Amino acid sequence: MFASPEPHKRIVDLPSAGMPADLGLASLGLVMQLAGRASGALAALLASVVVLESRVHQHAAWFCFAVALCLARSQLHRLAGRDLLYSRRTSEWEKASPFGAMRTYIAFGIGHAIVIGLIAAMMFGATSRTATGIAAALALWPVVLAGLLLLPRFHLLHAGIPLGEDRGLEGASILMTVFGACGVLSTGAILAMLGELPSRHLQHGWGVMLVVVFSLLLVRSCLHLRAGLCGLREVSFDRPGELASRYASFGIVSAACVAGVLALLSMSEQLTPDAMASVAVMGWLLAVWPLIVKRYFHHRQFAELLAGDRYTPSPRA
């Protein structure tokens, strides 16, 4: 006669209204992939500068060791973000925990922070307060992620992170809208500043090339912003996926063009090898986000295709 209390318990355990099934972990994975790839590129630039530097510092070995640790941390950071986005199988073909790589990154990140603080204090003469501040700053993000994993809401996701009702479209679109708007404002301001220069500067070949470079970056940012805004309006991946693919293709081509122009400038001005390494890293940094976006949208479009009639429209519909 009386209803069982068990169904009520299950209803209470459900996420609140509007909460995506993946609890926002897809957006976190995108940010972690971007940060991991970008920090890895910067660490590689730092390593190349140390290798190309003609002077040999007495603590160069310790410095190279610290840079190698930073490269390893960046790689683990990227892998942790990847596992939040894409399911992975173990060697026994069992589904791996999506938080396994994150736990590895947390442990390594905290240890990395402590080691870098000790190296700064013992090898480079940093004060105890400075070394403690460096270690605390480097350990902050791993500690935040460790606290995230302790939240009860994420305990049920250790067996696998479900796709959100909109396949993560809204979270990715918010990030693309923010990044695209920042790009439009910054490149537009630089172009306006270049337009205010005296005409003799723009008549020079490199002045014109700078205008072309930032014009390319402005068009790229507009495509970025357009794809993000479309994703916020649509409930299907069809149109946003098409626009994101256009942005990714143009973004990769524009990154190569910008790197090529800067390389020509470096060779014509006979700049140091350090500057050439900076050009290569700049091209890679410009190509990182389009590559991440391209893979993400292709994966989600494939998931939506496989869902077929089981596809549940986004709550925004």
- For residue 144, is it within any domain? yes
Residue 261 CA to residue 265 CA, distance in Å, equals 6
Q: Is residue 218 a contact partner of residue 266, using CB atoms and an 8 Å limit? A: no
Q: Is residue 315 part of a domain?
A: no
Ramachandran category for residue 234: left, alpha or beta (phi over 0 → left; psi -120 to 50 → alpha): beta
**175 & 115 share domain:** no
State the Cα–Cα distance between residues 142 and 108, nearest whole angstrom.
9
User: Do 140 and 112 form a contact (C-beta atoms < 8 A)?
Assistant: no
- Same domain for 176 and 131: no
The distance of Cα 28 from the centroid of its chain, to the nearest Å, equals 9
Q: Is residue 13 part of a domain?
A: no
Residues 151 and 185 in one domain: no
CB neighbour list of residue 219: distance below 8 Å, 6 or more residues apart: 250, 254
The per-residue DSSP string of 278-298 comes to HHHHHHHHHHHHHHHHHHHHH
Residue of 250, 192, 256, 195 whose CA lies nearest to 223 = 250
Residue-by-residue pLDDT tens, the chain, 317 positions: 444 444 443 443 445 555 667 888 889 999 999 999 999 988 888 877 777 664 556 667 888 888 899 999 999 999 999 999 887 766 666 677 889 899 999 999 999 999 999 999 988 888 999 999 999 999 999 999 999 999 888 888 877 787 777 778 888 999 999 999 999 999 999 988 887 777 766 666 677 778 888 999 999 999 999 999 999 988 777 888 899 999 999 999 999 998 888 888 777 777 777 777 888 888 899 999 999 999 999 888 887 676 654 444 445 54
The domain boundary, picked from 103, 131, 157, lies at 157
Rounded to whole angstroms, the Cα distance separating 239 from 245 reads 10
User: Does residue 3 lie in a domain region?
Assistant: no
Give the contacts of 226 (CB within 8 A, at least 6 positions apart): 180, 243, 247
Question: What's the structural domain count of the chain?
Answer: 2
Domain range for residue 173? Answer: 169-309
Residue 128: Cβ-neighbour burial (10 angstroms; 0-12, 13-18, 19+): exposed
> Rounded to two decimals, what is the model's pTM?
0.81
